A and B are shown apart, each in its own frame.
Chain A
Amino acid sequence: MSFKEIMNIISVVAIPFVIFTFLIYGFAKKVKVYESFVEGAKEGFNVAVRIIPYLVAMLVAIGIFRASGAMDVLVAILSPLTNLIGFPAEALPMALMRPLSGSGSLGIMTEIMKTYGPDSFLGLLVSTMYGSTETTFYVLAVYFGSVNIRKTRHAVLAGVISDITGLLTAFFICKLVFG
């Protein structure tokens, strides 16, 4: 069995396994499983509602940025710099969109693979980039929002450093493996 097949099986089995283990273990430890579940679950609504203002603030800002076409301007400004390390200009919108928007970067990845083919260097590069980092600003808004934290200290800077490292590593490793 290949690594991928093993991982696929694990990812399908993981959630049922965890739920089963928790219930059986809880039952064995004489926890009133049904009552405790309901007790814990009732908080779900509050958490979801609590993140709404943070999500609205973050997504509206990202929405304005995306709709304005500022991304194209940024690509034009940054491409001479990224050309220095041989980073393809076609993949630059992907690098800029990835930390901002999940649906936006998914759209860009799909578009690039449609145009250049999923097995072209660009296709392999953007799909590696997509997996190598997360939508930093969305995660920050949701996670801090859920506990009402407004002062995020060094979180944004550390997140952006992590994004840049992930995207650059994706580029260099792709060049090494597929280039």
Chain B
Amino acid sequence: MMNYIWLALIAIGILTAVGTDIYESSINKYRNGVEFQALVELKDEFKTNTQLTGILKVSGEYFKNFYSLKNFNAKLITNEISIKVNQDGKGVAVLNISENTPEFWKLMAKGKGTNTDKLVANILKFEKNENGSYNVVMVFERISLVKIKQVLNAVIEYSDIAVKIAIGLIGVMALWLGIMKIGELAGLINLLAKIVKPITKRLFPDIPSEHPAIGAIIMNISANMLGLGNAATPLGLKAMEELQKLNPKKDTASDSMVTFLVINTSGMTLIPATAIAVRAALGSGDPAAIISTTIVGGFAATIAGVTAAKILQRLKIFRKELEENNETKTEVKE
């Protein structure tokens, strides 16, 4: 199952990116090679073959029509520009991308993949007009394969993030494994398992009722309920380690593991800490208003997930991988 999902995410992603890029080049979305007209007000006296800075001005109407934009309301677009023009009126213009830059130009700059803080254009004509500013005709640098470049960047960026997340876990992981070791040797984990036995023997029938796995599972679920994400992951991984000790087939998930994971992937919590914090930061009148609704949503997810896991674990297609193990065992015996 994971094979298909993984392949689907990557294949759909790459096909969408290629498709989008082909479509965008067919309608020439970024107007490659098309002449763009604007006004430039220079800060200094005009001189040929010199780097000069100024402000580029375009009417919103012209901009909207030029790029065939649907939702664009600004009346006037201004952007910082630096130019260098020779005596024939030809040269190079560089637009600095800043906060005030229209979204579409930001998108174009981002789509280049490199030097995303500026847009470069070739100046074809540069003439003084009667108002003392300059009429400019220019063609922007070619922008193509935007999505593919973004996908490529994502590949590198996300493999980096994956390692950073793993490295970031080392500290809390060590802390909780250390604490759990003390609890194990002292018999506290077993005591905990004994207390919750009535519930856990139904949820995890194949774990012996006083096994340390139960203790770790209970601590992980408690941490999740209290919104303590930092403690929940190490405790959950500790529980997985204990479950793996009971697992007859080491590369295949056991029924208990799946049930335990589903409890973790559903948001059973009493304090949705992150959502409340974001709401408070955005000036909500009652950031905690969502506590009751979130509890209902999270518990519904948990009940549905556990029920689904219990039903699915009996289906033939999901038993197959477990039974392959038994077959090989009997073969060995014979």
Contact = CB atoms under 8 A, between A and B. Distances in A.
A29 B166 contact: no
Contacts of A21: 188
Interface in A119-155: 119, 123-124, 127-137, 139-140, 142-144, 146-155
24 contacts: A26-B183, A26-B188, A29-B187, A37-B181, A39-B181, A40-B182, A45-B173, A56-B162, A59-B162, A63-B158, A64-B9, A65-B10, A66-B154, A67-B151, A118-B279, A119-B289, A143-B236, A144-B261, A148-B250, A149-B253, A156-B5, A157-B1, A157-B312, A161-B304
Given A40-B177, A146-B241, A151 B252 contact: yes
A148 B241 CA distance: 10
A165 B300 contact: yes
Contacts of A163: 265-266, 301
A120 to B, nearest CB: 10
Nearest to A23: B182
Contacts of A60: 10, 154-155, 158-159, 162
A128 B312 contact: no
A114 B307 CA distance: 37
B309 interface: yes
Contacts of B16: 68-70, 73
Count class of interface residues, chain B: 35 or more
Contacts of A99: 265
Contact of A55 (B166, B289, B303): B166
A151 B324 CA distance: 12
A19 B14 contact: no
A158 B163 contact: no
A29 B186 contact: yes
Interface stretch (B46-54, B61-69, B227-235, B326-334): B227-235
B297 A118 contact: no
Nearest to B173: A44
Interface residues of A, number: 104
A31 B235 CA distance: 21
Given A140-B261, A177-B293, 6 more contacts: A40-B178, A56-B163, A128-B293, A147-B240, A151-B253, A162-B266
A7 B291 CA distance: 11
B298 to A, nearest CB: 5
A14 to B, nearest CB: 5
Nearest to B317: A154
Q: Which 10 A-B pairs have the closest CB atoms?
A: A40-B181, A162-B305, A166-B301, A132-B297, A44-B174, A131-B272, A63-B158, A41-B178, A165-B304, A131-B294
Interface of B: 1-2, 5-6, 9-10, 12-14, 16-17, 20, 147, 150-151, 153-155, 157-159, 161-163, 165-167, 169-171, 173-175, 177-188, 219, 222-223, 226-228, 231, 233-234, 236-237, 240-241, 243-244, 250-253, 257-258, 261-262, 264-267, 269-276, 278-279, 282-294, 296-298, 300-306, 308-309, 312-313, 315, 318, 321-322
Contact of B301 (A130, A132, A143, A153): A132
Contact of B308 (A23, A68, A148, A158): A158
A154 B1 contact: yes
Given A11-B226, A70-B13, A133 B266 contact: yes
Contacts of B177: 40-41, 43-44, 47
B304 to A, nearest CB: 4
B183 to A, nearest CB: 5
A65 B308 contact: no
Interface string A1-30: 001100110110011001101110110110
Given A69-B16, A158-B262, A166-B300, A153 B321 contact: yes
